[in-house]
Structure 1
C-alpha cells in the first residue's frame, strides 16, 4: 500500500484495519516521508519505483497485490511497468495525467521551499496550506472555478497531514516533485502486465483525468465512482479476487529498531536488544539515537509509541521483552507541571502549533522555560536555538500532547518513592 505525497503510511492505518481481514497489509513510508530517509540527489519517479522494489525485496515479499492513491499510484505504475511480474493485481485511486499548462503552474507555485523559521511563522503557512488543500485545487488557486466539492475543516485530518509534513520537511519537494513530473507511464496495450483498476470519486480533482488515460492494456478498468467509500470497496473487491491465497512469508525486520507489543500497546524502540539498560527521555521529548550497544524507547504516548493505560507497567514489560538489564528512569524536570506542558490540543486556527514552538524556543533560553527572567536564564547555546533544533523539540511536544504531563506526574511519583 503506497501512500500519496506529502503524507506517510500513517494515512492508511484505518484502511489497513479493514483490509487486514482479507490481506496482510504492508505500508512503507516512501523515501523522504514519514520515518524513511530521503533519496540522494534529485530523484525522479524511476528512483522511487526502484526504492519500492528494493523495499519489497528486503522484507522478503514475492508476487503480491498492491494499492496506491494519487502519488502512490504513480510510483506503483512506474514499478509495474518496469517489473510487471511483481504484482498479481493493482488498484489505484486517481491517476494523474497533467497537461503542459498544469505542469507549468505546478512548477511555479506548488512546491515552495519549506524550512523552519526562527519564530515559527512557517507553521502558520503550513496549517492553512493543508487546510485549504481541500478547498481549492491547486491549493494556491483561490478562485471559485478552482473550488472542490469535498471542502472541510476537520481539525483531526488537518493535524495528521501537518504532522506528516513536519516529518518530511523540505524533503517533501523531492518526492512530490518526482510524481508531478512523472510522464504518463501506462504500459502499451499489448504489453504483458497484471490486471489493474483505476477509479476516482466525485470531488477528487483527478477524476477528470480518467478521460485522459488513453488506450489501456487488456484486463484493465478505469472509471469514475460516486464516493471514496465506493472507490475503496471496488479496489478491495478487485484485489481480493485476484490476489491468490498464498500465505504471507515471514517478513524480515530491522534488528536495530522496531516496535515491541505490550498488550494492545506498541512501544517504539531503537538500539541493541539485551543492552545493560533501557534509557528513557524526559516528558515532552522523544528518543534519540542511543550510544553503540545502548537501547532506548519512546515513552508511552511520546514519539512513535502508543499511549498506555499503565505507562510504568508498559515500560517494565518492554524492558523484559527487549532483554534490558535495568531501566534508566529520567528525573522529572524542575518546574510546575501545569506550566511546563501547555495545552496542545489541535484547534481550528492552528494556534497549538505556535504554542509548541514558543515553548520549544524558550526552553533553550530559560529553565524552566516559562520563567522568562534573569534568575532563570541559561547560557545561550547556538545549536539549541537553531530553527532545526527548535523544530525537533516542538514536533516532539506536539506528538506527546497531554501524555507529557502524565509522564511527568509518573516520574515525580517515582522520584518521591511513591
Structure 2
C-alpha cells in the first residue's frame, strides 16, 4: 500500500506532503511540474519491491506549501534537502523526470554528499532562443474566472501538450509522436493544476530559468544516468549534454518501459544498503489505513467527537477537541464501496469516542449529483462550475426559482471559492451519491 504523510519542516514551518511505499533502502522520487507525487504511484508500486520509495510533493504543488517570494532552482534544491534532513534520510539514490531531474541535478551540485546516485528521465538543455520563447509564453497567469472560462483553456493546455511541444506551438514542426487523448491522464493533470493554481508559475518558472549546466567533468559528484525515450521532446537534448563527470552516462532509448528498466537497474547498482529511517510525520494530520484504502484526517486522535461533512463538500479545519475526516471518496480520502464501514473503522483506529453523522442535504439525490465523470471534451469541468455557481443562488441548487432562493453572499461567488467547490464536486464524483445514501440510511435509523 502507498501511505501518505504530512511533515512540517523544523524552523520554517513549511508543510510537505509525501507518499511512501515499499521496503529496502530509501529511493527519493521527484516529480515533474506542474504535477504532484501522485504521478509516481504506478512506479512506486513496481519499484517498492526493491526500495522504500519516498515521493514528496515539491513546494507549491500537490499538498505541499509553496516557498516564499520568487524562488529560484537553488531554493527548490535546498528545500528538497531540508525535507530529507527532516525525514532523517542520509545519502540516498534519487530519481526525477524532466523538471524533477533539473531539481535533482541542482541538488547534487549543491549537496553531493546527500546522494548516492541519480537517474534522470530527460534533461533539458535549452538554447537562448528557446529560453526566450518559454519565458514569453509558456507560463501564463492562471486564475479562476467568475464563469469558468479558464477551465476551457486548462483542458486544452493539458490535452494538447502531448500533441505539440511547446504546448502553444501549433506548427507542423512542433508535432509529437506520442500524441494521445487519454481522458484519465488529462483529467489527472487538470486536477493537479487546479490544486496548484497560479503558484505553478513559481515552481515551473524556477525550472525554466535554471542554469542548464551539468557538473563539469572534474566535479566530485555521485554517478548519474540520463536517458530519454522516443517521442520524449527532450530526447534530442541528449546530444547537447557535452562532457560529463566520471560515472555519468546518457542514453537514447526506444520506450518508456526501457527508460524505467534502465533507471531501476542503475539505481539498484549504486544504491547501497542503508536502511530506511523510522517514519516521521505530523501529529495533527495524516491518513489512517482501513480495509480497502486510506482515510484523511485532521485534529487530535482520541478526541471525543469525529465530525463529518455533507456530500460533495470539502473538509473544514477541526475545532478544539475534535477530529474531522474527508468522507470516503471525497477530498484526500480514498473511495470505498461501503462508506459507513470505512468511517467506523477509521473512528476506531483514531480513538474517536463518537461519530457526528450530518443530515443528508435536502433535495432529490438523482438531481443533486449530476454526472461529473471526465469526458473527451472537458465538459464535466463546466458542469461542476455551473453547479457551484447555482449553489450560491438556490437550495437545492437545481431549483432555479424564487421559492428556493437563498441570500446572496459575495464571498460564496468569489472565483476562488467557486473553484474550491467545483473541484470538491469533481473529486467526489459518484461517491457523493453513495455518501448521501449512507447518511439517509443512518439518519433513518436514529429517528
Aligned to 1:221: 249
Aligned to 1:396: 424
What is the CA RMSD across the aligned residues, in angstroms?
0.9
Aligned to 1:199: 227
Assess if the C-alpha contact under 8 Å between 1:270 and 1:289 holds in 2: yes
1:212 aligns with 2:240: yes
Distance in 2 of aligned mates of 1:288 and 1:81? 42
Distance in 2 of aligned mates of 1:240 and 1:131? 35
1:259 aligns with 2:249: no
Assess if the C-alpha contact under 8 Å between 1:93 and 1:200 holds in 2: yes
Structure 2 unaligned blocks of 5 or more: 1-28
Q: State the secondary structure of the residue aligned to 2:411.
A: helix
Alpha-carbon deviations, 1:112-169, whole Å to 9, x = none?
1000110111101100110000000000000110000000000000001000000000
Cα offset, 1:185, TM superposition: 3.8
Structure 1 unaligned blocks of 5 or more: none
Counterpart of 1:306 (choices 334, 343, 351) is 334
Assess if the C-alpha contact under 8 Å between 1:159 and 1:346 holds in 2: yes
Distance in 2 of aligned mates of 1:143 and 1:50? 38
Distance in 1 of aligned mates of 2:275 and 2:314? 36
Aligned to 1:136: 164
Cα offset, 1:186, TM superposition: 1.5
Distance in 2 of aligned mates of 1:2 and 1:64? 13
Matches within 5 A, 1:374-385: 374-385=402-413
1:39 aligns with 2:67: yes
Matches within 5 A, 1:260-299: 260-299=288-327
Aligned to 1:186: 214
Distance in 2 of aligned mates of 1:261 and 1:270? 14
Assess if the C-alpha contact under 8 Å between 1:300 and 1:308 holds in 2: yes
Distance in 1 of aligned mates of 2:369 and 2:417? 18
Aligned to 2:259: 231
Assess if the C-alpha contact under 8 Å between 1:29 and 1:35 holds in 2: yes
- If the length of structure 2 is used for normalisation, what is the TM-score? 0.92
Distance in 1 of aligned mates of 2:299 and 2:258? 43
Assess if the C-alpha contact under 8 Å between 1:134 and 1:152 holds in 2: yes
Q: State the secondary structure of the residue aligned to 2:251.
A: strand
Aligned to 2:56: 28
Matches within 5 A, 1:140-179: 140-179=168-207
Assess if the C-alpha contact under 8 Å between 2:94 and 2:117 holds in 1: yes
* Structure with the bigger percentage of strand: 2
Q: State the secondary structure of the residue aligned to 1:25.
A: strand
Q: State the secondary structure of the residue aligned to 1:11.
A: helix
1:417 aligns with 2:423: no
Q: State the secondary structure of the residue aligned to 2:313.
A: coil
Cα offset, 1:110, TM superposition: 0.5
Distance verdict in 2 for CA 1:185–1:272, change over 3 Å: farther
Alpha-carbon deviations, 1:50-92, whole Å to 9, x = none?
1111111111111111000000000011111111111111100
Count the aligned residue pairs: 418
Cα offset, 1:289, TM superposition: 1.5
Cα offset, 1:215, TM superposition: 1.1
Alpha-carbon deviations, 1:18-39, whole Å to 9, x = none?
0001100011000110011111
Cα offset, 1:211, TM superposition: 1.0
- If the length of structure 1 is used for normalisation, what is the TM-score? 0.99
1:50 aligns with 2:84: no
Counterpart of 1:360 (choices 379, 385, 388) is 388
Cα offset, 1:279, TM superposition: 1.0
Assess if the C-alpha contact under 8 Å between 2:295 and 2:346 holds in 1: yes
Counterpart of 1:80 (choices 85, 101, 108) is 108
1:105 aligns with 2:133: yes
Which of structure 1's runs of 4+ aligned residues deviate more than 4 A? none
Distance in 2 of aligned mates of 1:42 and 1:118? 27
Assess if the C-alpha contact under 8 Å between 1:78 and 1:185 holds in 2: no
